[in-house]
Structure 1
Amino acid sequence: MSELFNEVDEDLRRERLKNLWDRYSLLIMAVAILIVVGVGGWRAYSYLEGKKSAEAGAAFDRAADLSEQGKHAEAEAAFSKLAAEAPAGYRTLARLRAAAAAAARDPVAAVKMYDEIAADRGVAITEQDLARIRAGALLMETTAYDALLPRLESATTITGTYRHSARELLALSAWRANNPVATRQWLDMIANDGETPASLRTRAEALQALLPPVAKS
């Protein structure tokens, strides 16, 4: 008797499966085709992206070689091309290197390029700060402290990756402007930051020694 029930159950299962297949066979085949096409498309996309990244990396190395050879105009053109056409991971770095190459021939143009990077909300804050500092370094000799301060102050916060360089530039600018109060303010920030690099700390101490003594009340 149990064998009879088992055969009946098996027939019912087959009948249900047949009904399901008759009803949903087209959908099942369509989903299977979409999965195969999707996997194939993703693999093709990954391959193409990898190829683009490899080509961009090789182009970046060639542009860097031009810069090291002192061929700044050619390097600038190569980096600018990468900034416009390379995958996202290379674009900001290429823009920074293009500005650095431009600085050799036209510091004003380089500052403008750095300013554009610093103002670009699509660029990470770390790269924005780096652009600010490089522009600030180019402007040090020609720009008043009061004009340099708003350019660099946002990079001096405790979370800033390049805060040490930003503080040093502002300390030097304030000292050149004969502003001992501001100079001491930035030197104190350098001295009190436990992560200040040793070489920068030494330079800050040397500058501190040039300041007039603090007046006693």
Structure 2
Amino acid sequence: MADIFDEVEEDLRRARFETLWKKFWPVIVGAAVTVVFVVGGWRFYDHLQAQRSAAAGARFESALRLSRTSGTEAEAQFAALAAEAPSGYRILARFRQATELAVRDKPAAAAAFDALAADAGIGPVLQDLARLRAAYALIDSAPPAELTRRAEPLATADGSFRHSAREILALAALKAGDRPAAERWIKAIQDDRESPQGVRGRADLMSTVFSASGS
């Protein structure tokens, strides 16, 4: 008897399924086709992006090699990448283009780094790096006050580039003949346990020169 009831219930389920299928099969099939197209399109987009990234990476490496022998040509290649490459390589290319430009035209390089610093799309860390590179580009030509204006905001206790910024500030103070300010920034470098060895070594050298020259 139980088997009969089971068979009846199975028939009812099958009938309900057939009714629902006849009613909704266009929707179900349409949804399935949409999913297939969306997944396929996304994978194709990923494939194209991977190809573009690989091609940009190869061009970037080629420009880096070229920079060892012909900075002007490398600068042109980096400029092309900055205009055409995917976003990651575009940012790298803009930095490298400005770096190559600094070899022949430091004010123009500083302007290129300033443009990067003003671009919120690259993120605050890279913006600060661009500000630092702009200050370095001008270190031999800008007035001490200009170098101080550029570097001091980067020299905070938690700044990512505080060590290099403090070194620029010490050099700017020396350039201005402001020995107390130079000593203050040198001490800030020496007191910071995270100061890189190179920056610390140059600060120690300046401190030794100060000690030898007397007050």
TM-score of the two chains, using structure 1 as the length reference:
0.92
String of CA shifts for 1:49-101, please: whole Å, max 9, x gaps: 000001000110111111111x1111111101101110011111100100111
Of 141-150 and 106-115, deviating more is: 141-150
Provide the secondary structure at the position in 1 that maps to 2:121: coil
1:105 aligns with 104
- Does the CA contact (< 8 Å) of 2:128 and 2:161 recur in 1? yes
Kindly provide the amino acid, as one letter, of the partner of residue 80 in structure 1: A
String of CA shifts for 1:150-180, please: whole Å, max 9, x gaps: 2122222233332211111111111111112
Provide the secondary structure at the position in 1 that maps to 2:59: helix
2:32 aligns with 32
Provide runs of 4+ in structure 1 moved above 3 Å: 210-215
Please tell me whether residue 158 in structure 1 is matched to residue 161 in structure 2. Answer: no
Q: Give 1:214 deviation, angstroms.
A: 10
- The 2-side partners of 1:151 and 1:105 are apart by 22
Kindly provide the amino acid, as one letter, of the partner of residue 111 in structure 1: A
2:192 aligns with 193
2:85 aligns with 86
Provide the secondary structure at the position in 1 that maps to 2:94: helix
- The 1-side partners of 2:23 and 2:184 are apart by 79
Please tell me whether residue 66 in structure 1 is matched to residue 66 in structure 2. Answer: yes
Kindly provide the amino acid, as one letter, of the partner of residue 39 in structure 2: V
- The 1-side partners of 2:125 and 2:9 are apart by 68
2:183 aligns with 184
Identity %: 43
Provide the secondary structure at the position in 2 that maps to 1:122: helix
1:14 aligns with 14
Kindly provide the amino acid, as one letter, of the partner of residue 192 in structure 1: D
Q: Give 1:190 deviation, angstroms.
A: 0.7
- Structure 2: 5+ residue runs without aligned partners? none
Q: Give 1:186 deviation, angstroms.
A: 1.3
- Structure 1: 5+ residue runs without aligned partners? none
1:50 aligns with 50
2:147 aligns with 148
Q: Give 1:189 deviation, angstroms.
A: 1.6
Of 204-213 and 26-35, deviating more is: 204-213
Please tell me whether residue 133 in structure 1 is matched to residue 145 in structure 2. Answer: no
Q: Give 1:125 deviation, angstroms.
A: 2.1
- Does the CA contact (< 8 Å) of 1:126 and 1:160 recur in 2? no
The Cα RMSD (Å) is 1.7
- The 2-side partners of 1:53 and 1:77 are apart by 19
